[in-house]
């Protein structure tokens, strides 16, 4: 078998990447070790920046229809954050179980002719100057597959990362917690009907936070003395769930059934390199952290959006020499920042009197406009600004512009004003960059004096300038390659 890109892993990151490649007309193949989607609720929220990216592609509304809740604003270790200060159309987290995100993304792949091969495990690979040969083991036995590139989106225990030999520095987990989807009897009527900020003020050194998922099912997050020291793969028992539920709620709630449960820790690690030749890492294969603030799924999906168009350009032979390296230089710092803030959140959630004093001070800081904006931007992803070396400085440069449709997966020159940028400047790249005028009533969002902006396929501004287009040609060549190729 031959294809352009092999994606190992059919989670949100791998499926989002496959969709980005399909949008660009690139052949791809998704290989998944599990024979079927598990049905476990897993991650639950889409942050504002992810919502903006999905809206940019025209994929948000179908996911909105699959949502089970909504959390106004965000939180930092349970301390409220206001996302509205960024002017986003989505100043909230969209509550949607991970399987529903995966189901939608996988359905989209059929339209691109991209298969998801389940029950097939990547068991090895070798790369050379022209591509990667991957061994895939399935019911029919081992099969070699040849591709130009391989992306490991195969989770925290990534086989691709281990085979690649990439260092995964960080620390092991120090605190063990459990999560379960449960059915409960609620004779006292105390169960929450709407999404609420998590509370981590558990009793007797533990806690049990509940979140409604619909259909009589609640997500239960808990951690206490009983969970510490247990192997991560040890089954979560009904008795554990019952003990945690009783400690927090007494006899007010009774456990009817546990649909699914698993353990997790506050382990924190990040791959030293996201790009090694023709093999790349994304999502949990590249970074693991405490799932605090609802960032993990979003971090991986945004990895995919950053990477997809760059891989497509490389496959087509249109990419500047170092384009793929910018995947690491742009996304590694974003991942490192998430690891840092989740470690900090983990400390603030510890049941310790001194920590509670610290938490009180942090709460006060986050109630200030400056403190809220700094941390809200970090958790939501709304403040991400990629470096754009060599480009003339401008307030929009490197930032994402929301509300501009980029459903083609191509670049876009967005213009405004009575003197449009000369057509001749962009004509050599018209096979990979579109051109449109901004709404005269609103102009370029956050335009800051720019007559035009050039957007990469991921929606980030890579040039902003005057109507004469000064510097535009250099930016087009930098991000979209030689127009002769």
Q: What is the pLDDT of residues 342-379, one digit of tens each?
A: 999 999 988 889 999 999 999 999 999 999 999 999 99
The pLDDT mean for the chain works out to: 94
pTM: 0.96
Which residues make up the CATH 3.40.30.120 domain(s) of the chain? 399-480
Tell me, what DSSP letter sits at residue 43? -
Between CA 357 and CA 285 the distance in angstroms is: 36
Q: Which of 183, 182, 211 is nearest to 195 (CA)?
A: 211
SS3 state of residue 37: coil
Q: What are phi and psi of 163, to 5 degrees?
A: -65, -35
Least confident among 274-278, 337-341, 420-424: 420-424
* pLDDT over threshold 70, residue 163: yes
The domain at 176-265 falls in which architecture?
2-Layer Sandwich (3.30)
Q: Which of 263, 272, 260 is nearest to 218 (CA)?
A: 260
Spatial CB neighbours of 48, under 8 Å, sequence gap ≥ 6: 83, 86, 88, 90, 91, 92, 93, 380, 381, 382
Give the pLDDT band (50/70/90) at residue 288: very high
Spatial CB neighbours of 82, under 8 Å, sequence gap ≥ 6: 73, 91, 372, 376
Give the pLDDT band (50/70/90) at residue 275: very high
Least confident among 203-212, 276-285, 307-316, 424-433: 203-212
* pLDDT over threshold 60, residue 202: no
Q: What is the CATH number of domain 3-44+97-169+269-344?
A: 3.50.50.60
Q: How much is the pLDDT for 204?
A: 53
Section 131-141 average pLDDT: 95
Element (H, E) at 222: strand 217-222
Which residues make up the CATH 3.50.50.60 domain(s) of the chain? 3-44+97-169+269-344
Between CA 207 and CA 247 the distance in angstroms is: 8
Which residues make up the CATH 3.30.70.2450 domain(s) of the chain? 176-265
Give all strands of the β-sheet with 170-171 in edge-to-edge order. 170-171, 268-270, 287-288
Domain 399-480: which CATH number of 3.40.30.120, 3.40.1120.10, 3.40.720.10, 3.40.50.300: 3.40.30.120
Question: Are 114 and 22 contacting, i.e. CB atoms less than 8 angstroms apart?
Answer: yes
Q: How much is the pLDDT for 392?
A: 83
Q: Which residue has the tokens 């579109």?
A: 434
* pLDDT over threshold 90, residue 480: yes
Question: Are 223 and 206 contacting, i.e. CB atoms less than 8 angstroms apart?
Answer: yes
Question: Are 168 and 270 contacting, i.e. CB atoms less than 8 angstroms apart?
Answer: yes
Q: How much is the pLDDT for 128?
A: 97
Section 32-52 average pLDDT: 92
* pLDDT over threshold 70, residue 474: yes
Section 275-286 average pLDDT: 98
434 CB-contact burial (10 Å; exposed 0-12 / middle 13-18 / buried 19+): middle
* pLDDT over threshold 90, residue 200: no
Q: How much is the pLDDT for 220?
A: 93
């Amino acid at each position: 078998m031959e294809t352009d890109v092999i994606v190992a892993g059919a989670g949100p990151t791998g499926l989002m990447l496959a969709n980005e490649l399909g949008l660009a007309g690139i052949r791809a193949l998704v290989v998944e070790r599990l024979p079927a989607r598990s049905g476990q609720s897993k991650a639950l929220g889409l942050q504002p920046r992810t919502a903006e990216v999905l809206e940019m592609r025209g994929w948000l509304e179908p996911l909105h229809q699959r949502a089970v809740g909504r959390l106004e604003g965000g939180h930092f270790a349970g301390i409220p954050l206001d996302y509205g200060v960024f002017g986003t159309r989505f100043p909230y987290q969209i509550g949607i179980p991970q399987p529903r995100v995966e189901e939608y993304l996988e359905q989209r792949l059929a339209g691109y002719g991209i298969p998801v091969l389940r029950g097939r495990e990547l068991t090895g690979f070798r790369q050379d100057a022209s591509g990667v040969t991957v061994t895939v083991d399935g019911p029919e036995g081992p099969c070699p597959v040849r591709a130009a590139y391989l992306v490991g989106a195969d989770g925290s225990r990534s086989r691709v990362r281990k085979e690649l030999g990439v260092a995964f520095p960080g620390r092991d987990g120090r605190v063990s917690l459990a999560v379960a989807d449960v059915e409960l009897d609620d004779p006292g009527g105390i169960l929450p009907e709407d999404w609420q900020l998590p509370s981590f003020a558990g009793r007797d050194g533990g806690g049990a936070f509940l979140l409604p998922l619909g259909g009589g099912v609640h997500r239960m997050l808990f951690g206490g003395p009983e969970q510490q020291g247990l192997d991560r793969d040890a089954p979560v028992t009904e008795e554990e769930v019952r003990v945690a539920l009783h400690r927090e709620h007494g006899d007010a709630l009774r456990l009817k059934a546990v649909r699914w449960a698993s353990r997790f820790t506050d382990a924190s690690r990040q791959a030293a390199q996201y790009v090694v030749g023709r093999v790349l890492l994304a999502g949990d294969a590249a970074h693991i952290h405490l799932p605090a603030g609802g960032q993990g799924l979003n971090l991986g999906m945004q990895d995919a959006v950053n990477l997809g168009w760059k891989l497509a350009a490389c496959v087509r032979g249109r990419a500047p020499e170092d384009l793929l390296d910018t995947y690491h230089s742009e996304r590694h710092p974003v991942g490192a920042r998430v690891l840092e803030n989740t470690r900090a959140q983990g400390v603030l959630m510890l049941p310790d009197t001194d920590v509670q004093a610290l938490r009180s001070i942090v709460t006060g800081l986050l109630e200030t406009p400056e403190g809220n904006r700094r941390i809200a931007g970090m958790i939501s992803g709304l403040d991400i600004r990629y470096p754009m070396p060599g480009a003339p400085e401008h307030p929009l440069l490197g930032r994402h512009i929301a509300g501009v449709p980029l459903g083609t997966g191509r670049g876009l020159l967005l213009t405004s004003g009575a003197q449009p940028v000369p057509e001749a400047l962009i004509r050599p790249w018209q096979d990979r960059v579109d051109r449109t005028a901004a709404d005269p009533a609103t102009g370029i969002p956050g335009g800051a004096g720019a007559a035009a902006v050039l957007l990469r396929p991921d929606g980030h501004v890579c040039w902003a300038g005057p109507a004469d287009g000064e510097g535009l040609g250099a930016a087009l060549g930098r991000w979209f390659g030689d127009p002769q190729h």
